[in-house]
Each structure stands twice: as C-alpha cells, then as structure tokens.
Amino acid sequence: MLMLINVCSLRAQNASGNQPLSIVPYPVSVSTSGSKFVISKSTVIRIDANNPELLQIAQTMAGELKSLVNSSVAIGINNGSKALNNIVLTLNHTADTLGDEGYKLSVHPTGIVISANKPQGIFYGLQTFKQLLPVKANSSTVAIPTTNIIDKPRFKWRGLMLDVGRYFYSVDFIKKYLDYMAMYKLNTFHWHLTEDHGWRIEIKKYPKLTQVGAWRAGTQFDRAANQVDNNPHGGYYTQDQVREIVAYAKDRYITVVPEIEMPGHSLAALVAYPELSCTGGPFKMPVLWAIQKDVYCPGNEQTFTFLQDVLTEVAALFPGPIIHIGGDECPKDRWKLCPKCQARIKAEGLKDEHELQSYFIKRIENFLLTKNKRIIGWDEILEGGLAPNAAVMSWRGIAGGIAAAKQHHDVTMTPSNFMYFDYYQGEPYNEPVAIGGLLTLEKVYSYEPVPTELTADEAVYIKGVQANVWSEFIHSAEKVEYMTLPRAAALAEVAWTPARLKNWEGFKDRMDAQYKRYDAMGINYSKSAYNVWQTVTNAANKQATITLATNSAKPEIHYTTDSTEPTITSPVYKAPFRVTTPATIKSATFKGGKQVSKVSVTSVNPEHAVFEGK
C-alpha cells in the first residue's frame, strides 16, 4: 500500500539559516562571533565552593573532555579571578529570568562561563556545551566556537515513557535511556511498571506479584501467524534496583514518575492474587495483545487494601511528587455483572460504572494525598468525574487535555497521533514491525502542545508534553533505541524550544550532526528520515506526477523508473516528474557517494490511475 502522505506540506517554518550551531533542542537565544576557545590539558574547570552538585557536574564534564582530548582537565574552586583558560560553572548569577532550569553559556576566546540559578540549569548548560564539542578529536586540544547562549525551557514536563510491562529491559538499558533523555534536556521519565502482561516492580508485602505476575509463556508475537512463540519472557526490578535507577535519574535531573495501572491493565496482578477480581479467577498470564476484561474489583475492600499497601511501598521508593495510576482502557463488563460492584454503586449513590471508576480513582487519590503524592492518569479518568487534584495525560487526541485544562487541572499532552513512538516512522515495508500508525520525524516536530481552543488563562494548565514507547512490538533494547531516536530529538524541541523559534529546515540540518553523535555513541537509531517518500499525484489523463522527498537535510536522491535498483549513477531527483506509461519507481538517498537510505518502491500505472507501494 502506498501511503499518500505529503510529508512536505504544512511547511510553515522559514527556511534554514541563522541556526549556526547544531544544538538540539535549539536554545532561546544564540549568537556567535566567529572565534574559538581552545580547551587543552591546562584548562581548569572552576566551580563555586562547597557545592557538591556542581562538583558532580564538573566531574561529568571532565570525563567528557578526558575521553575527547585524552588528558585530564583539573577541577578547582572559582576564586573570582579573571584568570584565563577556565571553564567556570557558577550559581552566582545576576538575572533571575532563567528560572530553575535555565542557564547562560558564554564561550569567549579566553574561557567559558556557564551560569544559572540552580545546578539543574548548569547541568543543561553542560548538555549544550557537549553539543559544541567535536564528536571526535585527533589531538590533545579541542577548539569550540565562541558563542553567547541564553536558554530556558518552554515546558516544565518534558517526558518520555517506557513500557516495561509488555517487555522487560535491563537496569543497564534503563540507565542508557535516561542518558538519552538527559542529552535532550528531557526531565520526566514515566516508567510504565505494571501491565496485563507483566508486573515489574518488587512489592515486599505481595511477593507473588513478581514471583508469578512477572513471567509469561511467550515472548514474540507473530502478527502474520497471529500467535506467540513458546519462549518464556519475564523479569522485574528489585526495590534496590529501583532505588539505583531513581538515583541515576536524579543525577541527571530527571524525575521518575512510576505508573501502577488501575483499575484495568491489571491482569498480571490478578493472576497472582485472583481474589482481587470480580470473578475470583483463576487466570493465566496473557500472551496476546488485547485489552483484558478482568480488572480490579472496586466492590471488594480487599482491592483497596492491596492497592494502598502497594502504593505505600511505591511512594517510599519514588521521591517525586506524582504517581501515575493509569486509568485507561478499563472495560466495565465484569463490574456490570458483579454483585459486589453493583452493591458499591448503590451504596455510594453512583450513576453507573463510569462513576464507579471515578469513585475508584478518587479513593486512590485521597489515599495518596496522605503520602504527599498527587496523581496523574490517562484521559479516561475524566469519565465519571475527575478526582479533585488529578492531573491528566491526554492520549486519545487532545480533547481530554482541553477538557481538563478548562477544569483547571494540570495536563501533559501526549496525543497518540503525534507522540506514540511505537508507530511506524516510515513506509512499513521499509521498517521493522510496529504497532501501526505512522509518525514521521517531521510529524513529531510539527506538534504544538497548546490547543488553540484554550484561553491564555486555561493554557497555563498545559504543563508539557511527552512521548510514549509502548513495547508490544519492541522486543529488544536495540529496537527501543530505533523507535526512540531520532524522534526524541524532535520531541525535545517541541518541549523546550519557544514555538516561534522552531524551524524544521534548521532542525533537519542540525540532525545531521546529531546522527554523527549517535554513531559515536553506538546507538541503534533509525535512519528512516533518509528514506524517500514517493508521492503520486495527478494520476489522471494517462499521466502521473511523482514527487520525492525525505525527512533529512539536502538529500541527494537518485531514482529509476524501470524497476532497477537506484545507484549513485542513476538520475538525480531535482523536481517532480511525470510518468505516462506503467512504471516502477525506485529511489534512495545518497551522501558522500554512499547510499544512506533503504530503497523506496512505487508501482504506477497512469493509464488506470493505479499506483502501489511495494
């Protein structure tokens, strides 16, 4: 099937230019002066006295420089002198417009100063500084361009979610994921820890959750055969490992928001403790991806005792102020037939099962408030009435986010059509299997989180934006990387950069430098942005117009119309062209004489106005 999507449309942004440094997300203000500062082994990183956080950031910076120039850079105290050849990290900063996360980065010919109100700002200054360094240095010095950068984020919630329920990833990989987040100044790791298909967090009081609920009989779902293999899959994080990950995130100024799903997506817990369901079970761990009808029974007091015990342990493990309680996709089938649920509806004077779900979430909210935690939930928690202090994650489009903001509740925007990184990022025939959908790099980049439907007063409730990596079809850490990068770079710019400074042409240029960094880091990122979109239009009157485009900067596209493989000697695409007889168009992107994309294929039969992708 050919996807008739014109990825070149809606180009509201101005053309490239004036983005001289390859920084992602692009800062609020950048000026350059054409000179250089040379970092050598005599350069000293100087920090304010008695500040362990700055010391840690300085050590990270020294580590980066050591791997680049192969000699140690000393760390000293900032004594206020105007000595040359220093990289100063300081909180002695006179303007207060930078907030908690902003920073200033000045590279002079004689030294560097990164200043901020808080260490978090210095940390983000370091992330920008790293992007000014060359990917590799062949000598004991590195020159970086002189610049003045003033920067702070647009949104407070800059999130990335990872579903470890459908598939388990190692502690080491979670740390890498956090590193990628930090690189892009993302500050909220939403850790989807429980699912129908796996319970992944050790709960001391309920050991069967992980003894039983963390393991299932099959791993890989084969869509064509509609079946799962027989390789058992499972795993969970011990509480010590959770603490290790939370500390690792904290060092990178990332808040971890754990998600404990309720009332739906809870079958793994019910396999372990069937008495918490409406029917009493027994249940088996599911191996197919479908929404499960067996969910927690809110007619049963034991359910609340259990969840409160679980949340007590969870609240103690995660220092952040917010716990995600799920709330999505909870079928009401069992509640409708359950005498206990129906008795609860009656006793509480509830109208229906939606209000029963709302009762459930409100009870959990009240409990968590006693632990000083607020809840966030998927937008279904609006149905039957929002809990008074709940924040909403809008995933079924943006309507839930709009409704919640109008009710003055905090919102994180994560609409599936812009922010679900389990979707395909190119033509499916050129991609590893994904859940469906289509979410190109350009589409992620184009997202505007503040809906026009909101007044300025309501818009302040849009706290930010997040992308979600659901893992039904992501059965390796390498594939998480593939699905996450480079789209997380586009997310970062949506979340950080002022809307007026977003620039798709400039972003594509800057991504070329990012790809080189990914290569140096050994990341299995997607190169789908290089793949050619072959769009067929005007397929009438026995002719068709073919337009070729990519999501990459200045692509050199070579193509054929006779179904042979495109090579560097095939014609170069310059402008849309016509075909008047049946043809198979094949094209690919080349850089420096080498093919960097897969081959795109479209069959066109202009006589019948029929055209098909591979």
Question: 122-141: buried (b, 16+ CB within 10 Å) or exposed (e) per residue?
Answer: bbbbbbbbbbbbeeebeeee
Contact partner at residue 278 from ligand ACM, Zn ion, none, CB < 5 to 8 Å by partner kind: Zn ion
Q: How far is the CB of 272 from Zn ion (least distance, A)?
A: 18
| Residue 583 touching Zn ion (CB under 5 A) | no
Q: Kindly state the smallest distance separating residue 180's Cβ from Zn ion, in Å.
A: 42
Residue in the shown chain whose Cβ atom is closest to ligand ACM: 328
Pairing of strands 462-469, 411-413: parallel
Residues 221, 478, 436, 468: is their CA dihedral positive or negative? Answer: positive
Of 369, 466, 472, residue with least CA distance to 423:
472
- Picked from ligand ACM, Zn ion, none, the partner binding residue 297 (CB below 5 to 8 A depending on kind) is Zn ion
Q: Which does 313 bind (CB under 5 to 8 A by kind): Zn ion, ligand ACM, none?
A: none
Least distance in angstroms from the C-beta of 378 to ligand ACM: 5
CB of 390 to ligand ACM, least distance (A): 15
Give me the least distance between CB of 194 and ligand ACM, in Å please: 13
Choose the one of ligand ACM, Zn ion, none that binds residue 338, judging by a C-beta under 5 to 8 angstroms depending on kind.
Zn ion
In the complex, what is the shortest distance from the CB of residue 265 to ligand ACM, in angstroms, rounded to a whole number?
Answer: 8
469 binds, among Zn ion, ligand ACM, none (CB under 5 to 8 A by kind): none
- Compute the half-sphere exposure of residue 390: CA atoms within 13 Å on the CB side of its CA: 33
Contact 86, 111 (CB under 8 A): yes
Q: Which of 278, 311, 450, 539 binds Zn ion (CB under 5 A)?
A: 278
| Binding residues among 319-348 for Zn ion as defined by CB under 5 A | 338, 340-341
Q: Report the partner that residue 341 touches, choosing among Zn ion, ligand ACM, none (CB closer than 5 to 8 A by kind).
A: Zn ion
List of residues contacting ligand ACM (CB under 6 A): 328-329, 378, 395
Q: Toward ligand ACM, which CB reaches closer, 318 or 378?
A: 378
Select 300 or 531, whichever has its Cβ closest to Zn ion: 300
Minimum Å gap between C-beta 471 and ligand ACM is 12
184 versus 395: smaller Cβ distance to ligand ACM:
395
Query: Residue 271's binding partner, choosing from ligand ACM, Zn ion, none, with beta-carbon cut-off 5 to 8 A by kind?
Result: none
- Nearest-angstrom CA–CA distance, 495 and 448: 9
Task: Tell me how far, at minimum, the Cβ of 164 lies from ligand ACM, in Å.
Answer: 15
Q: Which is nearer to ligand ACM, 17 or 437 (CB)?
A: 437
Residue 303 in contact with residue 279, Cβ under 8 Å? no
C-alpha span between 365 and 369 (Å, rounded): 6
Q: What is the DSSP letter of 16?
A: S
**Nearer residue to ligand ACM within complex by CB, 444 or 601:** 444
Q: Does 297 bind Zn ion (CB under 5 A)?
A: yes
CB of 230 to ligand ACM, least distance (A): 27
Binds Zn ion by CB under 5 A, chosen from 299, 384, 566, 606: 299
395 binds, among Zn ion, ligand ACM, none (CB under 5 to 8 A by kind): ligand ACM
Residue 64 or 328: the one with the smaller Cβ distance to ligand ACM is 328
Quick one: what does residue 419 bind among ligand ACM, Zn ion, none, with the CB cut-off 5 to 8 Å set by partner type?
none
For the chain, how many helices (H) and strands (E)?
A: 17, 31
**313 or 328: CB nearest ligand ACM:** 328
423 near 435, Cβ under 8 Å? Answer: yes
Nearer to ligand ACM, 147 or 468 (CB): 468
Q: Read out DSSP for 417-457? A: HHHBTTEESS-GGGS---SEEE--HHHHHT--SS-TTS-HH
Q: Is 295 in the site for Zn ion (CB under 5 A)?
A: no
Choose between 207 and 280: whose C-beta lies nearer to Zn ion. 280
Tell me how far, at minimum, the Cβ of 192 lies from Zn ion, in Å.
25
Nearest alpha carbon to residue 131 among 264, 282, 26: 26
Identity at 295, one-letter amino acid code: V
What are the tokens at 522?
């050994």
CA count, 13 A, side-chain hemisphere, 475: 16
Closer to Zn ion at the Cβ: 291 or 337? Answer: 337
Q: CA separation (Å) from 227 to 84, 167, 482?
A: 66, 16, 24
Nearer to ligand ACM, 169 or 395 (CB): 395
Can you list the pairs that 381-386 forms with residues at least 24 positions away whose Cβ atoms lie under 8 Å?
Answer: 381/325, 381/327, 381/357, 383/354, 383/357, 383/358, 384/350, 384/351, 384/352, 384/354, 384/355, 384/356, 384/357, 384/358, 384/359, 385/355, 385/358, 386/358
Kindly state the helix (H) or strand (E) to which residue 222 belongs, with its residue range.
Answer: strand 221-222
* C-alpha span between 132 and 30 (Å, rounded): 12
Per-residue HEC secondary structure of 97-150 comes to CCCCCCEEEEEECCEEEEECCCHHHHHHHHHHHHHHCCCCCCCCCEEEEEEEEE
Closest-CA residue to 421 (of 343, 344, 473, 358): 473
474 contacts which partner out of ligand ACM, Zn ion, none, CB within 5 to 8 A by kind? none
Please report how close the Cβ of residue 363 comes to Zn ion at its closest, in angstroms: 14
State how far the Cα of 122 lies from the Cα of 130, in Å rounded to an integer: 12
Q: Report, in Å, the least distance between residue 278 CB and Zn ion.
A: 3
Please identify, using beta-carbon distances, which residue of 379 and 427 lies nearer to ligand ACM: 379
Contact of residue 328 among Zn ion, ligand ACM, none (CB under 5-8 Å per partner type): ligand ACM
Q: Which parts of this chain interact with Zn ion (CB under 5 A)?
A: 278, 297, 299, 338, 340-341
